[in-house]
Amino acid sequence: MHPPGWRAAAAALLLFVPMGMAAASAALVFRESEAIEAATGPFRQVREVFAAGTDCKVVVREGGDSLAPAGSYIIANGNDAFQVDPGRSMVTPLDTTGMEPVSEIPGDAAVQTIAEVSLLQDLDEAGPVVHGLATRHYVYRLRYLEHTPPAAAAPEGSRQWEERHEFWAAPWPGGAHLAATWLRLRVSEDAGIGWAAPDMRAAVERMQAHGLMLRQIIQRERQGGPGGTPPERERVDREVVELAQRDLAAAEFAIPSGYAHAEFLAPAPDEPASSEAPMAVDRPVPAPAGTAP
């Protein structure tokens, strides 16, 4: 899984994109809370998503980190995406496939490979009504091997990951076409370092095809590895807390003019440079099947 923010180092090139003047378009707007329980401490953020088909904007409203602080946002238009930090008047182009800066700094994630991906469905049943929408309750198990080659900083070898995905989903209000670009961003986020593996992306896309996930619980566990590397666990909880349909002007998805262009995302000068995602500690088992989220 990718960390909430991305690695980077800033450069100074002015970027200008004119504000859009097109007519308003239909959009789905929702706020999603996210909590990661970690051995290094909990992480919390609230993001607001503006999904309008090929256009999408994701704003960090609360929480965030040094690379994606509160007030920063991603704008994606078709195949192009940018991370915007108004606090530093900075724009960074992103690769919408892997959700990394276009010029990625080499690291272990660039050399790790994913293989033997399998996805099994354990549950499909009627769920409760959430935000006025009838849901279905799903549970999937995702397994794969993560291989680290000799050239990487981590010990060489393969380690088994197992993930339990539980979610309550409803058909997309206004139609699934509104979520086209948002789903590309979310699939890349949930596929993590496996975003380049077609089987991994296909597995995540299969789960996302069930519709808008109004509540989602992801529990990941990686077995211990060579050199005495201990097992790792992570838990992510997401919940849509507000949901509405609106007409949005094209200017909502425009890149602000006069911002400096950064090749890499970078933490603020007074923040630590590390942006590694925390690995989570165990939390209580989710509510039994049939319990309302």
Q: How confident is the model at residue 267 (pLDDT cuts 50, 70, 90)?
A: low
Does residue 288 lie in a domain region?
Answer: no
Does residue 8 lie in a domain region?
Answer: no
User: Mean pLDDT, to the nearest integer, of 22-46?
Assistant: 86
Does residue 257 lie in a domain region?
Answer: yes
Does residue 3 lie in a domain region?
Answer: no
User: Position 102: which residue type?
Assistant: V
Does residue 284 lie in a domain region?
Answer: no
**Domain span including residue 174:** 13-261
The more confident residue out of 7 and 161 is 161
Average pLDDT, the chain: 78
Q: How confident is the model at residue 156 (pLDDT cuts 50, 70, 90)?
A: low
User: What's the domain count of the chain?
Assistant: 1
User: Mean pLDDT, to the nearest integer, of 77-91?
Assistant: 89
Does residue 6 lie in a domain region?
Answer: no
Q: Report pLDDT digits (tens) over 198-245.
A: 899 999 999 999 999 999 999 999 887 666 677 888 999 999 999 999
- Strand blocks (E) in the chain: 13-15, 25-37, 43-52, 55-63, 73-77, 80-85, 90-95, 100-101, 113-130, 133-148, 157-170, 212-222, 232-248, 259-261
Q: How confident is the model at residue 96 (pLDDT cuts 50, 70, 90)?
A: low
Does residue 5 lie in a domain region?
Answer: no
126 has pLDDT over 70:
yes
The more confident residue out of 215 and 256 is 215
Tokens 């993001």 correspond to what residue?
A: 47
The more confident residue out of 217 and 293 is 217
Does residue 4 lie in a domain region?
Answer: no
User: Mean pLDDT, to the nearest integer, of 78-96?
Assistant: 87
